[in-house]
């Protein structure tokens, strides 16, 4: 399937998803949100994909936010409806994706762009990245999970500061706050993401998908993370990967997960 705003490339079981609206600094319009949501759904069904790397086209931006030109005229009800739709369609779908998603933050990641990066399972930023939630400078609040995921990653006090001041921070500060996993030179960004992806893809995909559910459960209202861990731990025992992993250990060989 081809997309108007997304480029896809699979190499060595790693799918690179590039948001491709460089003239608009890859701002998320509704079409791009719908396309990304489809890409995530299809990637989960594609047995050739084990890990996903998400980035932005060009050397200036990951995603410079939701498309301001599109939401400028919304009413209260439209704002609420679109926020709920975006949460379900894309941001929660990214967070709950059964395959790990690494955000390669290659420039501006603002507003909805940082919210998208924060939905991913981990983030690597290049040293030219600028991250922030500038929504209050536009008279709105973060509407795609930013008020929830930023405190989860950096703590409530720092999240409040970043949201209330609308300030942007660089990759090194983001690293010191725990907002990103690594800060690397721009030319090393994709290699660093692929290095992590390669380490992940040698492990059991079914166990990783169970781990994603267990880790996410801690942050979901009405769910008990420990209970989910127990449930997912039990589920692992029914998988071929568990049989292969334990057999390989006992036979002193490297596991070959299908």
By the rule CB under 6 A, 110 interacts with ligand DAK = yes
* Cβ atoms of residues 179 and 120 within 8 Å: no
Collapsing DSSP to helix, strand or coil, 84 comes out as helix
Exposure class string for 45-65: b at 16+ Cβ within 10 A, else e: eeeebbbbbbbbbbeebbbbb
CA-CA-CA-CA torsion sign (169, 92, 198, 237) = positive
Pick from 198, 56, 195: nearest CA to 128: 56
CB of 113 to ligand DAK, least distance (A): 7
Query: With contacts defined by CB under 6 A, how many residues of the chain interact with ligand DAK?
Result: 24
Which listed residue (8, 10, 38, 138) binds ligand DAK by CB under 6 A?
138
Q: Report the residue number whose CB is nearest to ligand DAK.
A: 111
Q: Contact 82/133 with Cβ under 8 angstroms?
A: no
Give the per-residue contact string, 86-105, with ligand DAK (x = CB under 6 A; - = no). Answer: x-------------------
Instruction: Record the tokens describing residue 89, joined without a space.
Output: 């369609």
For ligand DAK, what does the binding mask look like between residues 5 and 24, x meaning CB under 6 A? -------------------x
Residues 56, 111, 145, 245: which binds ligand DAK (CB under 6 A)? 111
Which is catalytic among the residues 135, 221, 229, 251?
A: 135
71 interacts with ligand DAK by CB under 6 A:
yes
Sheet holding 182-184, edge to edge: 6-11, 14-19, 51-56, 101-105, 122-126, 182-184
Beta strands in 95-236, from DSSP E residues, in sequence order: 101-105, 108-110, 122-126, 130-132, 169-170, 182-184
Catalytic pick among 115, 227, 228, 251: 115
Residue 87 tokens, joined: 């949460």
43 or 66: CB nearest ligand DAK: 66
For the bound state, the minimum distance from the C-beta of residue 69 to ligand DAK, rounded and expressed in Å, comes to: 5
Rounded to whole angstroms, the Cα distance separating 66 from 68 reads 6
Active site residue 96: no
- Least Cβ distance, residue 244 to ligand DAK (angstroms): 43
Nearer to ligand DAK, 77 or 221 (CB): 77
Residue 135 falls in the annotated catalytic set: yes
Which residues, at least 6 apart from 100, have a Cβ–Cβ distance to it below 8 Å? 51, 52, 121, 122, 197, 200, 208, 212
Q: Which is nearer to ligand DAK, 120 or 196 (CB)?
A: 120
CB count within 10 Å of CB 91 equals: 26
28-67 residues near ligand DAK, rule: CB under 6 A = 64-67
| Binding of ligand DAK by 163 (CB under 6 A) | no
Summarize as ranges the residues that interact with ligand DAK (CB under 6 A): 24-25, 27, 64-69, 71, 74, 79, 82-83, 86, 108, 110-112, 134-135, 138, 143-144
Q: Which residues are catalytic?
A: 115, 135
């Amino acid at each position: 399937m081809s997309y108007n705003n997304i480029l896809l490339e699979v190499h060595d079981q790693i799918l690179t998803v590039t948001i491709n609206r460089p003239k608009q600094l890859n701002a998320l319009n509704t079409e791009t949100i719908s396309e990304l949501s489809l890409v995530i759904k299809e990637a989960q069904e594609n047995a050739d994909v084990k890990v996903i790397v998400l980035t932005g086209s060009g050397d200036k931006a990951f995603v410079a936010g939701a498309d301001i030109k599109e939401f400028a005229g919304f009413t209260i009800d439209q704002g609420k409806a679109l926020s709920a739709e975006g949460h379900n369609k894309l941001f929660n779908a990214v967070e709950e994706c059964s395959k790990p998603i690494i955000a390669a933050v290659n420039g501006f990641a603002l507003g909805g762009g940082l919210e998208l990066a924060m939905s991913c399972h981990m983030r690597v930023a290049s040293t030219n990245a600028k991250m922030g939630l500038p929504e209050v400078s536009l008279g709105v609040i973060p509407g795609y999970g930013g008020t929830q995921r930023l405190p989860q990653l950096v703590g409530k006090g720092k999240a409040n500061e970043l949201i209330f001041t609308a300030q942007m921070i660089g990759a090194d500060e983001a690293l010191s706050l725990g907002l990103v996993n690594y800060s690397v030179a721009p030319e090393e960004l994709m290699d660093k993401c692929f290095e992590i992806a390669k380490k992940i893809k040698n492990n059991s995909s079914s166990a990783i998908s169970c781990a994603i559910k267990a880790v996410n459960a801690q942050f979901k209202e009405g769910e008990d993370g420990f209970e989910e861990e127990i449930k997912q731990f039990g589920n692992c025992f029914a998988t071929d990967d568990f049989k292969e992993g334990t057999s390989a250990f006992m036979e002193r060989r490297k596991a070959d997960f299908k």
